[in-house]
Amino acid sequence: MCGILGAFPRQDDHVFLPALNSMYHRGPDGFGVWHEDNNLLTLGHRRLSILDLSENGKQPMHYQNFTITFNGEVFNFMEIREELEAKGFTFQSESDTEVILAAYQEWGADCQLKFNGMWAFAIWDHNRKELFLSRDRFGIKPLYYAFNGETFAFASEMKALYSFLPQIRVSRDFNSLRDNMFDYETTDKCLLEGLSRFPAGHFATFRPGDKTLEPKQWWNTLDHLEEVPETYEEQVEKFRELFLDAIKLRMRSDVRIGTALSGGVDSSAVICAMANINKGTDNRVSDDWQNAFCAIFPGMSLDETQFAEQVVKHLGISAVYKEIDPAKGIDKLMEYLWLFEELYITSPIPMIEIYKEIKANGVTVSIDGHGADELIGGYGGNIFDAVKDNPFSFGKISDIMNTFTHGFVMDGTKPPASLTRRAMKQVLVRYRDLALTDKKLIKEDPIHGQLGYFNQYLYQEFHHKVLPTLLRNYDRYSMAASVEIRMPFMDYRLVKYCFSLPWNSKLRDGYTKHILRQSMDKYVPKEVIWRRNKIGFNTPFMEWMRGPWKEFILDMVSSQSFQESNLINPGKVKRQVEGVIHGNTATWKDGQEAWVSLAPYLWEEAVLSKAGKTPVF
């Protein structure tokens, strides 16, 4: 887990090193810079040491006629290494990086299909004089690039590319990106003009002199769906087997590992699975996993401490409880926004603070539960899509209604009063009728044809909507603290299996994510694994605005720079913010909407102004 940078043609150190070191937080353990002999390119790397802590693991790394700069982890590197050794390959390090190079030499672009992990890497072929760029299946690791005249550059974060832009200018699409914060991560659009995002599940080759980059898709989940066991009980067993193995692979580490434990179903399942892993003969699986870290918000609606405590007590381990101090957060806000460098619906403070706490306690890897909601149905909003899969089964429709009624809780609130049983039936009938009349969708949409209505919704959330944005966010949150996140729910074997499952393996008996709950029932406390309310890890911004942030926010919206901002409507946003602070009926949602309205101005002050001061050589 690191920061990578590369540029064509060769770059002088006074240009390249400041750009590389702008990502110091991604790799504080060391760095490397390599210049190609014919001055064709420069590759750089900021290192976060996790596998093979010796100098043998340093990058850029050379192997035969190839040189790599790599960000991420290939968790099944030991199995691939054994396969390559059987073919006659030898290795000098104990790292996954060297295995990637050997695998590329043996299989070319097909090596990507061998890898189980998360990555963005660039391999220079000394013989062909071409660069191979690759990004993992689901975009867990970031990759950006830019063209400027004869210069082509790529990096793990946008800030590392500012020096390679002709000028710092807000994207012409900024208003659209601002209004669609969950939509732009899967496009090539960026908040600054001249930057592009390399797509997930793609690769590209670049040769010196090329004026464009043409990524080609190498992974499509729909091409890898599989036959699943016939009975639900067998499906549960298969899920458990895959999940535990995904956990075990991600416990391979030469440094301490832990978990950001919220007390929700997903993170609780992860740490309880870690406690039940049979290490066997795998000496790279860490024994030092008993490190739980919980962000707490005493007295606030987002606090889940009681559930985290139940998990910790059940496992017989200790935990670190990090109280998120909003007053201190004010002083760190602009720094954290600079590190985050994107727009989002909530403040990054709580998330960065918990990973900083993890790092401060000597833990470098956090195995977390991200991806489960989008993979197996953790959100309440589109549960009714399952009705369209079952228009004539009133028993199944009743179960779906029950799931929605009990599961549609956010931040401790109850279902809307308008959702009476009669109203629910009317909604269900409407969804059933849509299924019977929407013949065009059935005929023309290949995703629906393979997955059905409910899984189609999850597929979009997983691949194109919510999850890509969350993956980007948590990369920034954790790397701001020099911590690597590993996500077992993102194991590609589990992903393709879950999208092959029928809807009612996920929604069942009044519960969302039923197959996860059932498979982990014997490992996780019952009151946690079967809890229905979903809170989520966000900033309690409404409470902060009315409390310790009140003076700060009011001063901000009255400032001259705020009034002169071109990225917002200052008068409208000021009225909205003051309404939350002074109003008696404001809710957490009002607070979130206030943050969304403020976000472009905060981004302008924290990111754009600093980016504009980055020297352009």
Structure tokens at 54: 């010796």
User: What whole-number distance in Å separates Cα of residue 130 and Cα of residue 124?
Assistant: 6
pLDDT at residue 211 above 50? yes
pLDDT reported for residue 381: 60
- Non-local (6+) Cβ contacts of 501 within 8 A are 228, 235, 455, 515
**pLDDT grade for 413, boundaries at 50, 70 and 90:** very low
Q: Find residue 6's DSSP bridge partners.
A: 43, 154
User: What whole-number distance in Å separates Cα of residue 277 and Cα of residue 243?
Assistant: 11
In this prediction, residues 566-577 reach a mean pLDDT of 95
Q: Which helix (H) or strand (E) holds 73?
A: strand 66-74
In three-state secondary structure terms, 544 is: helix
User: What whole-number distance in Å separates Cα of residue 588 and Cα of residue 585?
Assistant: 10
Among 173-177, 317-321, 426-430, the range scoring the smallest mean pLDDT is 426-430
pLDDT at residue 303 above 80? no
**Range list of β-strands (E), 99-253:** 117-125, 130-135, 144-148, 151-155, 195-197, 202-206, 216-217
Percent of the chain residues topping a pLDDT of 90: 76
**pLDDT grade for 393, boundaries at 50, 70 and 90:** low
**Backbone angle region of 179, left / alpha / beta, with phi > 0 → left and psi within -120 to 50 → alpha:** alpha
396-408: pLDDT as tens digits: 766 777 676 665 5
C-alpha triplet 284, 289, 290: angle, nearest 5°: 160
User: What whole-number distance in Å separates Cα of residue 480 and Cα of residue 469?
Assistant: 17
User: What whole-number distance in Å separates Cα of residue 366 and Cα of residue 377?
Assistant: 23
User: What whole-number distance in Å separates Cα of residue 21 and Cα of residue 210?
Assistant: 27
User: What whole-number distance in Å separates Cα of residue 92 and Cα of residue 98?
Assistant: 8
C-alpha triplet 366, 369, 372: angle, nearest 5°: 155
485-540: pLDDT as tens digits: 999 999 999 999 999 999 999 999 889 999 999 999 999 999 999 998 766 666 77
pLDDT reported for residue 378: 83
Residue type at 582 in one-letter notation = H
Asked if 612 and 588 count as a contact pair (C-beta separation under 8 A), the reply is no
In three-state secondary structure terms, 189 is: coil
User: What whole-number distance in Å separates Cα of residue 295 and Cα of residue 305?
Assistant: 8
Q: What are the φ/ψ torsions at residue 348 (nearest 5 degrees)?
A: -85, 0
Asked if 485 and 368 count as a contact pair (C-beta separation under 8 A), the reply is yes
pLDDT reported for residue 440: 46
Asked if 121 and 2 count as a contact pair (C-beta separation under 8 A), the reply is no
- Top-confidence residue, 438 or 357: 357
**pLDDT grade for 243, boundaries at 50, 70 and 90:** very high
pLDDT at residue 421 above 50? yes
Asked if 499 and 221 count as a contact pair (C-beta separation under 8 A), the reply is yes
Among 39-43, 122-126, 147-151, 327-331, the range scoring the smallest mean pLDDT is 327-331
DSSP-derived pairing of the beta strands 202-206 and 216-217: antiparallel
In this prediction, residues 355-365 reach a mean pLDDT of 98
Percent of the chain residues topping a pLDDT of 70: 88
Most distant CA atoms of the chain, gap in Å: 75
Asked if 206 and 152 count as a contact pair (C-beta separation under 8 A), the reply is yes
323-351: pLDDT as tens digits: 988 888 899 999 999 999 999 999 999 99
pLDDT at residue 21 above 80? yes
Asked if 218 and 456 count as a contact pair (C-beta separation under 8 A), the reply is no
474-485: pLDDT as tens digits: 999 999 999 999
Helix/strand/coil percent split, the chain, to 5: 45, 15, 40
Q: Which of 254-263, 577-586, 607-616 has the highest mean pLDDT?
A: 254-263
**N-terminal to C-terminal alpha carbon distance within the chain:** 29
Classify residue 142 by its DSSP letter.
-
Q: In what order do the strands lie in the sheet with 216-217?
A: 61-63, 66-74, 117-125, 130-135, 202-206, 216-217
**Domains with residue ranges and CATH for the chain:** 3-219 (3.60.20.10), 227-537 (3.40.50.620), 541-612 (no CATH)
Asked if 9 and 208 count as a contact pair (C-beta separation under 8 A), the reply is yes
What mean pLDDT value characterizes the chain? 90
DSSP-derived pairing of the beta strands 319-323 and 216-217: unpaired
pLDDT reported for residue 435: 58
In three-state secondary structure terms, 253 is: coil
pLDDT at residue 230 above 50? yes
Burial status of residue 584 (CB atoms within 10 A of its CB: 0-12, 13-18, 19 or more): exposed
* Alpha-helix runs per DSSP H in 520-587: 526-529, 541-546, 550-557, 560-563, 570-582
Among 209-213, 382-386, 576-580, the range scoring the smallest mean pLDDT is 382-386
pLDDT reported for residue 431: 60
Residue 542: name the closest of 326, 380, 304 by CA.
Answer: 326
- Top-confidence residue, 215 or 536: 215
pTM equals 0.92
544-565: pLDDT as tens digits: 889 999 999 999 999 999 999 9
Asked if 370 and 381 count as a contact pair (C-beta separation under 8 A), the reply is no
Q: What's the number of CA atoms in the CB half-sphere (13 Å) around residue 82? A: 3
In this prediction, residues 251-267 reach a mean pLDDT of 95
User: 507-533 burial, b for 16+ CB within 10 Å, e for fewer?
Assistant: bbebbbbbbbbbbbeebbbeebbebeb
Q: What are the φ/ψ torsions at residue 214 (nearest 5 degrees)?
A: -120, 85
pLDDT at residue 616 above 50? no
